[in-house]
Amino acid sequence: MLDILGGSHRFCDGLSRRSFLRIGGLGLGAGALSLADVFRAEAHSPNPGRHKSVIHIFLGGGPPHQDMWEIKTEAPSEIRGEFKPIATNVPGIQIGEVFPRIASVMDKCVVIRSVVGCVDRHEPYQCHTGWTRESLGSLGGRPCLGAAVARLQGPVDRAVPPFVGMLNDGVWKDPGQPGYLGPAFAPFQPDGPGMENMKLNGVSLERLDDRKHLRASFDAFRRVVDAEGKANALDSFTERAFDVLTSSRLLAALDLSQEDPKLRERYGTGQPYKFQYDGAATNNENLLVARRLVEAGVRCVTMTYGRWDSHGANGDLVRDHGSKLDQGFSALVEDLASRGMLDDVTIIAWGEFGRTPRINAGGGRDHWPQVSCALLAGGGMRTGQAIGSTNRLGEHAQSRPVHLQEIVATLYHNLGLDTTTTTIKDPTGRPQYLVEHSPLPELV
């Protein structure tokens, strides 16, 4: 934690003699690291290329595939459930009735109805990485997509973190882990306590811009560096930390008050939050923040949306969460399209597994890792498709099984990374491929 202390007197603008500004870890998940440490690690990454982004919406708990994107009209009632299919703006593609707005932008979306390779565990790890947690576990685990992209491509703008995780409460709040890359590549979390460290507390940007004057007040910081003077407290990496602090881009991106009220109304808030339990809120405003973040230069934004673990009252949950996701996801697609950004931003919404074909005695569906689903949009993909299908009862993939690594590989491809050639060295010095599968040929 770096405290920038004010002078020992009271200035004419009313600052007390102990006025200060804290930089610190900025919610990076590893409290001992400063932002300068992150930039020091990023210095080994290549220069960033064209700005492509991913917005990753994790539907924590396991969304029911047969109630959302592939309604089983020919199945018995105890499997079919209460939902009816509706037409989309793409002839021949139908989706669940609670998604009329997504149906109206289906030409910009892709539904995958036959995702395989999931494990029966409540964790976003497999969606963030494409791997199980055991893979390279002794070395720290596989890095998530956001961490890998931060390592390989670095920041678009040095004042904007390349990887941001929207923090939520609950057991599925994990925004993605850096794995063997280490905490220097963990996501910046703007809802975390580190945001308090970004507040200027009355210190004007004009004063901060006066770097020479500011450096004179770093006595407290200088005391923590190498006693022999081997470390330079104000090296170029620390300068970059100040670039984040003194830039308005990141904080402006997080400030929804700057948005048109009509656009905010289009996204909605996702309130009232229902069926939240130990999961995440259905916070539609996070989707709007995500658009603002990628616009500012973030390469990967992750968030958890809702709690889809519908062991009971499945229909009520899908109607609540589904209708809110319908509003927010479709608004995000339309918003990005109107700004000419949709081809550069890939949106994905999916969970860790599917739900059982048969509705249980409590009116819910239980865990079903045999097959799952995903909704994607944008990214320059061939959209307006429904890929794969399950059998009549929704038990397993019947046509075109899509391994979840194929989806993660597609996300990497859309970011400009070739998963067939790109590697990152693990702590032993051995190069590791990002995933073992290739992108979906139907999309790229």
In a domain, 168, yes or no: yes
Token pair belonging to 344: 């550069």
* DSSP 8-state secondary structure symbol assigned to residue 228: T
- Three-state DSSP at 197 gives helix
Burial of 440 (0-12, 13-18, 19+ CB in 10 A): buried
| Pick from 214-223, 246-255, 343-352: least confident | 214-223
pLDDT at 217 over 60: no
Rounded to an integer, the average pLDDT of 375-383 is 98
pLDDT of residue 29: 38
Q: What is the pLDDT of residues 273-284, one digit of tens each?
A: 886 677 889 999
Token pair belonging to 218: 């770093």
Q: Which of 19, 36, 37, 22 is nearest to 194 (CA)?
A: 22
In a domain, 39, yes or no: no
Q: Which residue has the higher pLDDT, 158 or 64?
A: 64
Q: Which domain holds residue 379?
A: 48-195+263-433
Beta strands in 9-120 (DSSP E): 20-22, 53-58, 85-87, 94-96, 109-116
CB of 192 closer than 8 Å to CB of 169? no
Separation of alpha carbons 325 and 377, rounded Å: 14
pLDDT of residue 238: 57
In a domain, 17, yes or no: no
pLDDT of residue 24: 39
CB of 396 closer than 8 Å to CB of 371? yes
pLDDT at 200 over 70: no
Residue 204's region, left for phi above 0, alpha for psi from -120 to 50, else beta, is: beta
pLDDT band at 192 (very low <50, low <70, confident <90, very high): low
In a domain, 245, yes or no: no
Separation of alpha carbons 379 and 348, rounded Å: 10
Count: domains in the chain: 1
Q: What is the pLDDT of residues 277-306, one digit of tens each?
A: 778 899 999 999 999 999 999 999 999 999
Instruction: State the Rg of the chain over Cα.
Output: 23
Of how many residues is the chain composed? 444
Q: What is the pLDDT of residues 93-145, one digit of tens each?
A: 999 999 999 999 999 999 999 999 999 999 899 999 999 999 999 999 999 99
Rounded to an integer, the average pLDDT of 18-28 is 38
Rounded to an integer, the average pLDDT of 253-277 is 91
Q: What is the pLDDT of residues 66-104, one digit of tens each?
A: 999 999 999 999 999 999 999 999 999 999 999 999 999
In a domain, 293, yes or no: yes
pLDDT of residue 210: 53
Can you give the pTM of this predicted structure? Answer: 0.83
Rounded to an integer, the average pLDDT of 378-400 is 97
Rounded to an integer, the average pLDDT of 346-369 is 97
In a domain, 65, yes or no: yes
Rounded to an integer, the average pLDDT of 241-250 is 63
Q: What is the CATH number of the domain that holds 375?
A: 3.40.720.10
In a domain, 56, yes or no: yes
Q: Which residue has the higher pLDDT, 441 or 189?
A: 441
In a domain, 148, yes or no: yes
Q: What share of the chain is helix, strand, coil (3-state, %, to 5)?
A: 30, 15, 50
pLDDT at 165 over 90: yes
pLDDT at 370 over 80: yes
Q: Which residue has the higher pLDDT, 147 or 213?
A: 147
pLDDT band at 410 (very low <50, low <70, confident <90, very high): very high
Average per-residue pLDDT for the chain: 83
Q: What is the pLDDT of residues 293-342, one digit of tens each?
A: 999 999 999 999 999 999 999 999 999 999 999 999 999 999 999 999 99
